[in-house]
Amino acid sequence: MHKKLFFLSLLFIGLFKSQTTTMTNVISQATYYDGYAATVSTPVPPGLIRLSNTRYARKLTDAELDSFKAKIAMRVTIGALCDNYDRLGSVFLAMVPKNQPTYTINDANVKRIEIGRYITPFMNKNRSPLEVPYTYDLSNLYNVFHDTGLRSTSDLYMELDVFGVPYAAQTQVAGCSGRIDVFSGTLTFFSTNTGATSTDHNSLVPILTYSRLNNYNSTDVTGETVRIVNFNLPTAVSNARFFVISTPHGANSGGEEYVRRQNYTYMDDVQVLTYTPGGISCEPYRVYNTQGNGIYGATPKTFADWTSWNNWCPGNSVPIRGFTLPTMTAGNHTLKHTIPTAVFNQQQGDVYLSVYMQGKSNAVLNVSDVKTIDVNIYPNPTSDFVNIKSKADVASISLFSIDGKKLSENYNENRIDLSVYSTGIYFLNIVLKDGTTFKHKIIKK
C-alpha cells in the first residue's frame, strides 16, 4: 500500500515534471511548535514571517507570480516531529496591502482565502514513513496570481498553518521528552501550460475564512448550527464559482468527528449545495499512521466500516467542494451554511468553514471592495418575535408572506413580531444603516 501511494504521488507530480514545468518552493521544512504555548523565539527561516507557532508566511515575488502557468498543482509535505496525534492544517492565500513589510494573523487590512486543508496522521518520528504528502489542483489560482489590478494594491503571501500539541508525544515517543517542536512543513507549487486552458475570472471574493461554527456559542441562530454572511458586490459577476471547505470536530464520545451529517449551503435563500463529509475508506492512508491509535486499530477495516462513521481520514486532504452560479447581480447577497442535525455532545467541538468566490466582472474588483457582515437572526422557527443582531444598526425590517405580500414593517428596531400570523413560511427584508440589504426566510410555528 505504501508503494502504491508513493507511486500515485509521483505520478501526480510527474504529470507536471514530464512537461515544461515551473516549480516554486515557498516554504521548506519549517519547524512548527506547540500551538498552545507562547510564541517561540527560535530563528525564523530566511524569507519567512512567523505569524504564530503554527503558521509561517512568505511573500510571492513578482517573478514567481509571473512564472505561474495555467495548470497549477500544490503539494504540502508534513514531517513527523513531536506530535503523534491527528491535527488540522491549512494553506491560506493572504492579500496584504501593498508594501506592508509585516502583518499579524488578526490584521483587519489583510484578506484571506483558504485554498487547502488537510488532516495530519498519527505519526511517530522513529518509524517510517516520516512524512506525508498532500496534493491539490489549484489551477483556478492562475487568474489570481496574474491579476494586475489585485497585484497593484496587494502583495500576495502564502501561509502554511500546521497546528500541533506535543504533550502526549513527550511521554509516548522516544526522544520527545521536554520538546515542543511538533511537525515540519513544506509548501511547493508546480505549474505547466500543457493541456491547460486558463479562465478569464478576474474577481475574487473572500466570504468566510476558517469560520468557527457550533450550536452552543458560535452560531448565528441560537441552538442551531448555522452561519449567515452577507456580502456586497459592487459590480455584477458572471460564471461565479464558489469554493467550500468544512470539517466537523469533536473527539469526545459521540462527537461530531464520528457522526456523518448532511450540510446545506444556500445563496440568497436558494439551496445550492448539499453534501455529507467523509464516506470514503481510510485504508489507503493507514501507512502514514505509524503511531498506534483508536481510529485505525490493529487490523484493516472494511469499506462499510469506514463509511458508516468517518468524516475524514488522518493523512488525507479535505475535499474542496463547490457550486457555480451563472450570474451574481451587483448589490447585496446572503450565503447561509447549516447543519441541522448537529448535536455537539457536552458542548464540545466545532465546524471550521471557509468559502470564497471567483468569477468574471466587467470592472477590476479589489478584494477590499467586498463588504461582509455577520448577522444573527433568531429564533427560527419562532412563535412570536424574531431578533436581528448585527454590528450595524437596523434601519428597517419588512415582513412578507410567501406570496410576496407585505404584512408589516418596523423602523429603527432590531425585532419584529409574528405572533398574530398563522403557522407557515415568511420572509424578512432587512435593511441595515450601513446600506446592507438582504432577505431571510423565517418559519412561524
Distances (CA, A) of 14 to 21, 148, 226: 10, 31, 42
Residue 167: helix, strand or coil by DSSP?
helix
Bin 235: left if φ > 0, else alpha if -120 < ψ < 50, else beta: beta
Bin 420: left if φ > 0, else alpha if -120 < ψ < 50, else beta: alpha
How far is it, in rounded angstroms, from Cα 95 to Cα 154?
A: 6
**Model pLDDT, residue 365:** 55
**C-alpha atoms less than 13 angstroms from C-alpha of 16 in its C-beta half-sphere:** 25
The set of cell numbers assigned to 328 is 451574481
358 and 391 assigned to the same domain: no
Q: CATH number for the domain including 42?
A: 2.60.120.230
**Model pLDDT, residue 379:** 82
373 bridge partner residues: 230
Residue with cell 496591502: 97
Burial class (CB in 10 A: 0-12, 13-18, 19+), 358: buried
The total number of structural domains that make up the chain: 3
Q: Hey, how many other C-beta atoms are within 10 angstroms of the C-beta on 221?
A: 18
Q: CATH number for the domain including 400?
A: 2.60.40.1220
48 and 179 assigned to the same domain: yes
In DSSP notation, 271-286 reads EEEEE-S--S--GGGG
The set of cell numbers assigned to 236 is 455584477
**Model pLDDT, residue 6:** 45
- Per-residue pLDDT of 261-311, as tens digits, reads 999 999 988 899 999 999 999 999 999 999 988 889 889 999 999 999 889
346 and 399 assigned to the same domain: no
353 and 422 assigned to the same domain: no
The set of cell numbers assigned to 228 is 449567515
156 and 220 assigned to the same domain: no
Domain carrying residue 431:
379-445
The residue among 137, 172, 198 that closes a domain is 198
Of the candidates 387, 385, 393, the one whose C-alpha atom is nearest the C-alpha of residue 412 is 393
**Model pLDDT, residue 10:** 47
**Does a cis peptide bond (omega within 30 degrees of 0) precede residue 248?**
no
- Per-residue pLDDT of 172-185, as tens digits, reads 999 999 999 999 99
356 and 394 assigned to the same domain: no
DSSP 224: B
168 and 247 assigned to the same domain: no
Residues (pLDDT < 50) of the chain are: 1-8, 10-11
120 and 240 assigned to the same domain: no
174 and 294 assigned to the same domain: no
178 and 315 assigned to the same domain: no
